[in-house]
Amino acid sequence: MAQPFDIRPFQPADLPAMQEIRRLAFEPVFQSFRDIVGEEIGKRAFADADAEQSQLLETLCGTGSVHQVFVATVGDEVVGFVTYSLDEKKQIGEIGLNAMHPEHARQGIGAAMYEFVLERMKSAGMKVATVGTGGDPSHAPARRAYEKVGFGPAIPSVYLYRLLF
């Protein structure tokens, strides 16, 4: 049974919990990427993936960022986060980096975060919302969550790798 939760604006004190959630949520994704491309490519192409994504989250939450950041909480515990940006000229909102703590996944909290953000986009005059995610098996839960709140159609994208030695 899902616990009651709230969605509120990010506060700087939330960042350590958000980083841990990000790490836990994306650790299997980065491992999946390494498994897909093989050891030789994986150790080069994804060696710094966690550190790079950690820095991205710092930047998204930093002073002067154009991104909006919200957290989902159960009691006083941060259990998820979502970032988004608005392109007022094109009237397009984009959901960016987001994650749920694995222990709180599949309880509807992620979908509620997305619905919350979509309503904020709509209120800001956006006409289209976008979100990017992977097409690999490790991103299947994210794809299901986005589809659950009405995202689709999708444009497939493929990254190809090749060893050069």
Tens digits of residue pLDDT in 108-152: 999 999 999 999 999 999 999 999 999 889 999 999 999 999 999
Q: Name the residue with tokens 């992620």.
A: 110
Give the pLDDT confidence of 60-89 residue by residue, as tens digits.
Answer: 999 999 999 999 999 999 999 999 999 999
Q: Does 9 sit behind a cis peptide bond, omega within 30 degrees of 0 on the bond before it? A: no
Q: Which residues fall within 8 angstroms of residue 22, CB to CB, at 6 or more apart?
A: 53, 54, 57, 81, 97, 99
Please tell me the pTM assigned to this model: 0.93
Domain spanning 6-148: CATH 3.30.1370.60: no
d(CA 102, CA 26): 10
- Angle at Cα 108 formed by Cα 68 and Cα 6, nearest 5°? 50
Q: Where are the domains of the chain?
A: 6-148
CA distance 110 to 145: 7
Which residue in 72, 119, 120 sits closest to 100, CA to CA? 72
